[in-house]
Every structure is written in structure tokens, then in C-alpha cells.
Amino acid sequence: MSDRTASTAGATLEQQAALLRVVLEDEAGRQFGQGTEIHKLQKMSAGASRETWAFEAATPGGARLPLILKRDPMQADQPEGAAGVDSVLGVDRWTEGRLMELARDGGVPEPRVHFFLDAGERTSAGFVMDRIDGETLGRRIARDERFADARKTLAHQCGQAAARLHAVPRDDLPPLKDLPPRPHLQLYRDTLDSFDYPHPGFEYGLHWLEERIELAGARHTLVHGDFRNGNLIVGPDGLRAVLDWELGHLGDPMCDLGWICVKSWRYGHVQHPVGGFGAREDMFAGYEDAGGGPVDPKAVHYWEVFGAMRWGVMCMIFAFGHLTGRQRSVEAATIGRRAAEAEYDLLELVD
């Protein structure tokens, strides 16, 4: 056990916050001026894979900067992350922050990353970025009246953002996992085979995908990996930021366009394929308008089928984690039962 783990594993939330405040004041002082103080430090989430903290940095010049820290968990023993098989793609916090910086330079709406934290006795690795006002809950983005005007152009804006992130020069990227379509599909085949439980719908879907793998595009670019409603910040004016680059990798860019169309990310508004708020044609137009090139709807459909299968297998990971006692929680059980929904969605797509 490392010194960091030993010194923090049993710490209360108040003790963790006290240690973190010292680290943040040191780093913020270097960035914004000595004497910068940290106020309103609050843990926003306690997920198994990442922690998010909100705070304000009060600078010597009188500015109060609303900021967000995203860091690895401090606890020594963490259950298997929510991404499950996608943990194969998981990047570290420096890489995630760097991808956000490169995407922002390329015109993707992103919060500015101000500085990084190295793992030590008082904190795990992480990065600090601007806190952007807006909504992140996918259900509200798809349904609330206050976003009615935003929904008119949001699919087009998502297409533009996707085109710009896919255009980030390969030579500028940090080291990333390279996952062409066939090895990507094999990850889920291997995971499905590891479950001692029949799922004929997913088996059929995997065969469908294997037989049509030539539909996947030939381009090979930066891929966000989790580009969907729920990982966006949206205001009444539209898209404000693309978040959660934890699964960034190299692959077929159409994977991102298919993933945002998966029915699970429509939050009941199934008549709007793109995130529950827009049409595929609007997203494709935005993609082409931003220089992404022509979109092949068949390739996007392939990745939408892939996405339904992917989400279903991820749900099964939650389910078996709960049933075997590896990750006992109501949340894991609730998500796990949605495997049946994804299986049904998959069969609808390939019918």
C-alpha cells in the first residue's frame, strides 16, 4: 500500500477536504498569484471511477473564479468502474485534461484547463478546469421547456463539435490506445463469452456486427468514446461544453456519431434520435459544415447497433457485479436490469 493510500484510506470527507484545500491553495497560488484562497470546496460526486469537486479560487486581485477539480478516487479499494469493459480504453487524468485542451484549441466547446495535480500523500492525480454554467442531466436537456430553443440547433452543434474533435491532429495527441473496429468488437465478444448466462439477442447482434464490419468507416482519428447526452453542458443558447473524455482513443470517428444516437441516451424522446433532442440529418449537416466530410448513414447505423450492444454488455457487468457480491449496490442492480432494454433496442435496430 502506498503512503498516499495509507494516509487517506480511512480519512473522513472533512479530512479529505482539508488535505485537498492545502494542495489546491498551493497550486492555485502558482497559477493565479500567491495568497489565492480556496472557498466553498464541495465534493459533487462519489463515483467508483472518478471524483468531482467544486470550489472558488479567490485571487489577490479580488477575482473569484468558479472551478472544478476532477481527480482519481482516494480510496485504496475501489469496485470495478462503471465503464466495465471500456476500462480497457480508460486514460489517466493528465491525458484526459490534455485532450480537452487540444479539443478546445480546435474549436470544440470545452472548459479551460488551468492546472494539473500530481498524486501524492494529500491528493490523487487530477486537473482543475473552469466551471461552466448549464445543464448536464440528459433527461432535463431532452425535456425541459427552458431548453426548447436550444434543442432546435443542438443536434447541428453536436455534429460540429464532433467534426472538430475528430480533426485534432494526430501528431499533437498524447499516447492513446489504438482500437480499430475489429479488435473493438472482440472486446465485447470476449466479455459476453465470460458470462455464464445466455443472451441470444446480444449473440445475434454480435454476429450481425461481425458479418457487416466492412460498414465501419476507413478513417482513423481521435474518438471521444462517450459522446452522448449526459456528457454535455447545455444552456438555453445551446451546446456549451463536451465533458468526460475518460475513454478517448484512436478509432473510427463514426463511433461517436452512432453512440449519441443509442436509444438509451434519448431519455424517452425516442422520436429524436440524436440524444432525445434532434435529428440525425441535422447532426450530419453540422458535421459536414464544420469540415468533417460527408457522413455515411450506413456507417453511423452500424455504430448505433454497436452502441446498443455495448451498453447492454456494460449493464450486464453491473448486474453480475451485484449478483456475485463484487459490487453490491442498489445503483448497480438498477442499471444491470436495463440490459433487457438494450437487448430489445438492439433487435429493433437489426430488424
Supply φ then ψ for residue 230, to 5 degrees.
Answer: 120, -25
pLDDT at 4: 46
pLDDT at 78: 46
Question: Is pTM, for the whole model, over 0.95?
Answer: no
pLDDT at 45: 67
Q: Are residues 86 and 222 both part of a single domain?
A: no
235, β-bridge pairs? 238
Q: Are residues 27 and 56 both part of a single domain?
A: yes
Supply φ then ψ for residue 78, to 5 degrees.
Answer: -115, 140
Compute how many other C-beta atoms are within 10 angstroms of the C-beta atom of residue 317. Answer: 27
129, β-bridge pairs? 68, 113
Q: Are residues 269 and 344 both part of a single domain?
A: yes
Q: Which amino acid is at 99?
A: L
Question: Reading across the β-sheet that carries 113-117, which strands appear in turn?
Answer: 37-46, 51-58, 64-71, 126-130, 113-117
Q: Are residues 112 and 159 both part of a single domain?
A: no
Last residue of a domain, one of 104, 130, 156: 130
Question: DSSP letters of 62-114?
Answer: S-EEEEEEEE----S--PPPTTGGGGGT---HHHHHHHHHHHHHTT---PPEE
CATH of residue 209's domain is: 3.90.1200.10
Question: 281, 226, 287, 232: which is closest to 251 by C-alpha?
Answer: 226
- Count how many Cα atoms sit within 13 Å of the Cα of residue 95 in the half-sphere of its side chain: 16
pLDDT at 13: 82
Compute how many other C-beta atoms are within 10 angstroms of the C-beta atom of residue 61. Answer: 9
Q: Are residues 102 and 196 both part of a single domain?
A: no
Last residue of a domain, one of 130, 155, 190: 130
List the chain pLDDT tens, one digit each, 351 residues.
Answer: 344 443 555 578 888 899 999 999 999 999 999 999 999 999 986 455 789 999 999 999 999 999 999 999 876 444 444 445 666 778 999 999 999 999 999 999 999 999 999 998 889 999 999 999 999 999 999 999 999 999 999 999 999 999 999 999 999 999 999 999 999 999 999 988 888 788 899 999 999 999 999 999 789 999 999 999 999 999 999 999 999 999 999 999 999 999 999 999 999 999 999 999 999 999 999 999 999 999 999 999 999 999 999 999 999 888 777 677 777 777 777 888 888 999 999 999 997
Q: Are residues 98 and 160 both part of a single domain?
A: no
pLDDT at 5: 42
Q: Which amino acid is at 88?
A: V
Q: Are residues 228 and 342 both part of a single domain?
A: yes
Q: Which residues contact 56 (CB under 8 A, 6 or more apart)?
A: 38, 39, 40, 64, 65, 66, 67
pLDDT at 216: 93
Q: Are residues 213 and 298 both part of a single domain?
A: yes
Q: Are residues 33 and 117 both part of a single domain?
A: yes
pLDDT at 15: 87
Last residue of a domain, one of 130, 155, 174: 130
Q: Are residues 124 and 142 both part of a single domain?
A: no
Q: To 5 degrees, how large is the angle CA 135–CA 137–CA 142?
A: 90
Its domain, for residue 261, covers 138-350
Q: Are residues 17 and 116 both part of a single domain?
A: yes
CA pair distance 147, 275, nearest whole angstrom: 13
Q: Are residues 290 and 148 both part of a single domain?
A: yes
pLDDT at 174: 97
CATH of residue 79's domain is: 3.30.200.20
Structural domains of the chain, count: 2
CA quadruple 286, 288, 291, 297: dihedral sign: positive
